[in-house]
Amino acid sequence: DTAVSQTPKYLVTQMGNDKSIKCEQNLGHDTMYWYKQDSKKFLKIMFSYNNKELIINETVPNRFSPKSPDKAHLNLHINSLELGDSAVYFCASSQDGQGNYGYTFGSGTRLTVV
């Protein structure tokens, strides 16, 4: 019973392509997030959604567009991929949107742009 599942786990693609990463949570949480972990291992928040509504939108290139069809799903679409987009992308969810119970993370999607 995977709580937060994201697909694919690995994604290798060429510069300029458009790709999507999907995320689903079966925890009944209202809030979902996308984080980026760079080569220095810093986890940086990109977006958060609460019940399909965008709450946090950090300084992220507008080539990145999140989409939440329902509160259990938060997908990430990336246009015109660049070499610098290579990183591990984590989806997460939280029970209350305030972090009182911590975040539940997916296992990550390793994106490599060549």
Partner 1 sequence: SQKIEQNSEALNIQEGKTATLTCNYTNYSPAYLQWYRQDPGRGPVFLLLIRENEKEKRKERLKVTFDTTLKQSLFHITASQPADSATYLCALGGRRGKFQFGAGTQVVVTP
| Site for partner 1, rule CB under 8 A | 4, 31, 40-45, 48, 56, 90, 92, 94, 96-108
Phi, psi of 55 (to 5 degrees): -110, -50
Minimum gap (Å) between residue 107 Cβ and partner 1: 5
Minimum gap (Å) between residue 20 Cβ and partner 1: 19
Residues 6+ apart with CB under 8 A from 100: none
Which residue, 14 or 59, has its beta carbon nearer to partner 1?
A: 59
Longest dimension (CA), the chain: 40
Which residue, 78 or 93, has its beta carbon nearer to partner 1?
A: 93
Minimum gap (Å) between residue 11 Cβ and partner 1: 15
Please provide the DSSP assignment of 5-74 as one string. EEE-SEEEE-TT--EEEEEEE-S--SEEEEEEE-TT--EEEEEEEETTEEEEE-S--TTEEEEEEETTEE
Which residue, 79 or 106, has its beta carbon nearer to partner 1?
A: 106
Minimum gap (Å) between residue 16 Cβ and partner 1: 28
Which residue, 56 or 60, has its beta carbon nearer to partner 1?
A: 56
